[in-house]
Chains A and B, each alone.
Chain A
Amino acid sequence: MSSTPKPSPPVFIHVDGAYWELHHARSAASPIVVAELYPTGTRTEPVEATYRVAAPRWRLEESLGFVIPESMYQAVLAAPAQTIDAAPAAANDFPSADRDRWRPTRTSPVLMPGAGFATYGRILHDNAPLRTWEDGSHRIEIVSLTAGPAAAQAVSYRLWLDSDLTAADNVPVSQELDAEDDELVRQVAAHAITGRAPSTLTARQQSAVAAHGKDLLRSIALPASPYPQGTRVALVGKDGRPTDITVTVTDTITDANGATWYAVHPEISRIPGHPLREHPDAFLILSADDLVPTLQAPSSGIEPILSYGSRVRTIDHHTVTTGTVVRTFARADVPWYEIQADDLAESTVRLSAQDIEPISGSFWPSIDDLVATRTEAGIHLQEGEVLVSLSGFATVDAGPQGPVLGPERELPPRDPVLGQVWSHSHRVEPSSAGTEVEIEPL
């Protein structure tokens, strides 16, 4: 006789040639998650797990080397708890050779009760962290802030060093801090690098911290005034708080009264179409009072509708990971984008706005500029397209001789250098090479 069929797991993640099952185990202390890896196949008889680990959520993430998103974790907790044979062992690592092999990718199918079919990338997208700080291969995610007793709150975070999920944990922080405060990022980094007892870290974690910890702490340290060249700073708004307009310090100037001014170059100028893209020496002069050092992401110029040259990341496409918007189409109430993969050998794909995440936008001063640039690149108009610039947008309709650009409709005016309105007046200085930069002032 057959034994009683194994109950369906709360969470199932399909990876290449295997699948993970995540369960909830009984524990007197914090909830325990059990992860089991099984080989795939059409066999119907019971299959033995090739790997099994049981640990609290953050220790499990550190061990497996991949994220268990919040909705996935809640699905595990909501399922009936199972009894496990033994208490979870101390911190250990999924064998390093297997961390890459069995790690879910964005396309990995995931089954969760109540959620039906999803992909790992889609779940990550739906459970985005409150904030992400990145510098090369190092990354910190502020996952959540949870109110605690008295004047404390707990921050949940993840740290990647050299592109490997090295640490994930909860740590108490001051209640005054919110996710946008750079100080929160610094406290999290300090906890991950120096705040945990070495005995709680695996050999892999200790090695990563030793190799990259100092670099990480140095890169997020608060710079002393006057800020050195290359310091990233944010412009301060009327309310005295940093805006999301970021610039880079190129020089420090002290005026006759002893006041400090900075020459800065807008970070948004890196995106296609920006008038300063080809003028890296051009600068704005701003008062030190208008600037504050920042760890936030560079100004990206992302608009509700992306245009030619915008950079995107797909949520779970099987061949295209990142690419560039070639065309924008209006279909129903959601834009669709024709995207050229970074791997130019791949074909272009057409994806809905709900299937991509914008990385950065584009900055076309006018529709004419956009059409001229596209034509030069061999990107001709197609019926159904929408063209968007800083000043307006236009649609492409069918004409007797082919696609025809419709009349331009204006958008609210914005700053021609910063891409959005900033409360303080400012002007652009020509580059040191003597190249004139023609920019219509706001």
Chain B
Amino acid sequence: MGRRSTAGFARHRLTLPRDLATTAHLCVLYPGRIGARLGVAGAFLGGNRLGGGGFFFDLHEAYREGLVQGPNMVLCGAGAYGKSAIAKTLVYRSTALTPTRFTAVLDPKGEWARLGEALGWAVLRLRHGGDVRVNPFDLGPARAAAADEDLLAHRVGVAAALVAIATNRTNLPAGERRILHESLRLLTAAGTPDPTLPDLRRLLAEPPASLADDLNTTPDELADRRRPLLDAVALLVEDDLRGICDTATSVDLDWARAPGLIVDLSALLSRRRTLRLVLAAAAGWLQGAMYGSRDRHKLTIVDEAWMALEDLAITRFLQDQWRLGRQWGAANILITHALSDLRSQVDDGSAAAKIAEGLLTTTSVRVFLHQNPEQIRGLLADLGLTSTEATLLRSLQPFQALWKVGTQSAIVDHVVAPWEWDLCDTDHAMTGS
């Protein structure tokens, strides 16, 4: 052998590149950033690439243990990287560990029905002019448990959101909101336990004199002021929500025992405006029915949440629900595609964008799947990712995700068992399976 120069070695120190180390030691090198493990609580979801061992998670458990400030989670990533399957395995495996929890899924694409049927959940297929109806003002068993003022506030919130969406406004002026408030108060006082949208329409069409008195106005002035509201509610009843939310609830659900519910909105997919309205109405109905019930944990999942988040009124409504739901043991999961796509649907910097981003940035649990390079900068700035984490998102493979649970991070190789594919696959239509 010939002599080898050592000069080359001398120039290179034996070192690892910055931010690369054995996973066993990362948690020591980056205390507070890389957790050794999150412990064993909740459903197994996959392998913990940084901490080693399995990765387990449950939203209620994480909140109970103080890992997160609020029981809310967003799951986002580019299409075909497995976010829907990850959400479904989380739900499927959690059912065995939390058998008393009630889970509701708002499913705009009809991809959760098979899982719901396997779990014995009710599957409501809402369609325009259909025979399954939900009354967004229906408060179910909560009617007996919650204070009158709280129930009225909830109904007013739902009605205001629906009218705002229907009239393409972000918010209702105080005058219109007050009319809705006093109208719903009158309807409830008249002995209607769960007023409906048609009830509200009738009252607005022929407002009683007492309503003008309650609003400190004259009947003539009220007739002018209530006109936009009447038109909006009439449109809802006769067109947008016909056969969906235009009578009393037709679903006989045992709220005390029912394990879960899928609200399949896929029949409305081609009617985007109706879909948004029904999303808000169904979310309001679910929240109302669960209102005040403290004896069961609740989990509401909104799939394809970008459809909701592109509308300020729904976003604000969801934000209110998240804030209120915590005291009733309600947790929430939003599933959406890449956040930059969301941003492209609203005017960057507008109130809608700010509220949508606010909802996401205040979410305690954020799960990121693969993101395209153009999305990375926004994530870095808005969602508090480190530069390494943001860069990493580009190279995540399908079913790999970066979990940010409060202050802890984990990179998870998600695992879907062979027999779970029948329940989790979202490609039935493409594959014919």
Give residues in A with beta carbon < 8 Å to B: 1-2, 4-5, 7-8, 12, 14, 16, 19, 38, 40-44, 107-109, 111, 116-119, 122, 316-320, 331-332, 334, 341, 345-352, 354-355
B257 at the interface (CB under 8 A from A): yes
Binding site for A on B (CB under 8 A): 24, 27-28, 35-41, 43-44, 46, 51-54, 56, 61-62, 65, 67, 93, 95-97, 99, 114, 117-122, 257-259, 415-417, 419, 422, 432-433
**15 CB < 8 A contacts A-B:** A4-B24, A5-B24, A5-B36, A5-B51, A44-B36, A44-B37, A44-B39, A117-B46, A117-B417, A317-B118, A318-B95, A319-B119, A319-B259, A320-B120, A355-B419
Q: Choose one: A5, A12, A117; the contact of B52 (CB below 8 Å).
A: A5
Contact yes or no, B433 A346, CB < 8 A:
no
Contact B41 A41 (CB under 8 A): yes
Contacts of A41 in B (CB 8 A): 39-41, 65
A347 touches B419 (CB 8 A): no
Minimal beta-carbon separation of B72 from chain A (angstroms): 17
Closest to A43 in B: B39
Residue of B nearest to A110 (CB): B44
Chain B residues with CB under 8 Å of A109's CB are: 43-44, 93, 96
- In the complex, what's the smallest C-beta–C-beta distance from B196 to chain A, in angstroms? 27
- Among residues of A, the one whose C-beta sits closest to the C-beta of B66 is A42
Q: What are the residues of chain B within 8 A of A320 when measuring CB–CB?
A: 120
Judge whether A40 and B44 touch: CB under 8 Å. Answer: no
For residue B94, which residue of chain A has the nearest CB?
Answer: A318
Contact B99 A318 (CB under 8 A): yes
Q: A41-B41, A109-B44, A347-B121 are in contact. Are A118 and B61 (CB under 8 A)?
A: no
Roughly how many angstroms separate A16 CA and B41 CA in the complex, as a whole number?
10
Q: Are B40 and A14 in contact (CB under 8 A)?
A: yes
For B120, give its contact among A119, A122, A348, A352 (CB under 8 Å): A348
A111 touches B121 (CB 8 A): no
Q: A4-B24, A319-B99 are in contact. Are A40 and B433 (CB under 8 A)?
A: no
- What 13 new A-B contacts, CB under 8 Å, besides A42-B62, A122-B417? A1-B28, A5-B36, A12-B53, A41-B40, A44-B39, A109-B44, A117-B46, A122-B419, A318-B119, A331-B433, A332-B433, A334-B422, A351-B118
A349 touching B118, Cβ below 8 Å:
yes
Asked if residues A40 and B39 are in contact (CB atoms below 8 Å), the reply is yes
Q: Which residues of A contact B24 (CB under 8 A)?
A: 4-5
Q: A41-B41, A347-B121 are in contact. Are A352 and B422 (CB under 8 A)?
A: yes
Do A345 and B120 touch across chains, with their CB atoms under 8 A apart?
no
Q: Which residues of B contact A319 (CB under 8 A)?
A: 95, 99, 119-120, 259
Q: Which residues of B contact A346 (CB under 8 A)?
A: 120
Contact of B67 among A19, A42, A347 (CB under 8 A): A42
Report whether B61 and A42 are in contact in the complex, using a CB–CB cutoff of 8 Å: yes
Report the Cα distance A111→B55, complex, angstroms: 11
With A5-B36, A109-B93, A350-B117 already in contact, the answer to whether A42 and B28 are too (CB < 8 A) is no
Roughly how many angstroms separate A208 CA and B62 CA in the complex, as a whole number?
43
CA distance A16 to B422 in the complex (A): 26
In Å, the complex CA distance between A41 and B54 comes to 13
Q: Contact check, A40 vs B40: say whether CB atoms are below 8 A apart.
A: yes
- 10 smallest CB-CB distances across A and B, nearest first, come from A347-B120, A107-B96, A318-B96, A350-B117, A42-B39, A42-B65, A349-B120, A8-B53, A117-B415, A116-B415
Name the B residues within 8 Å of A7 (CB-CB): 52
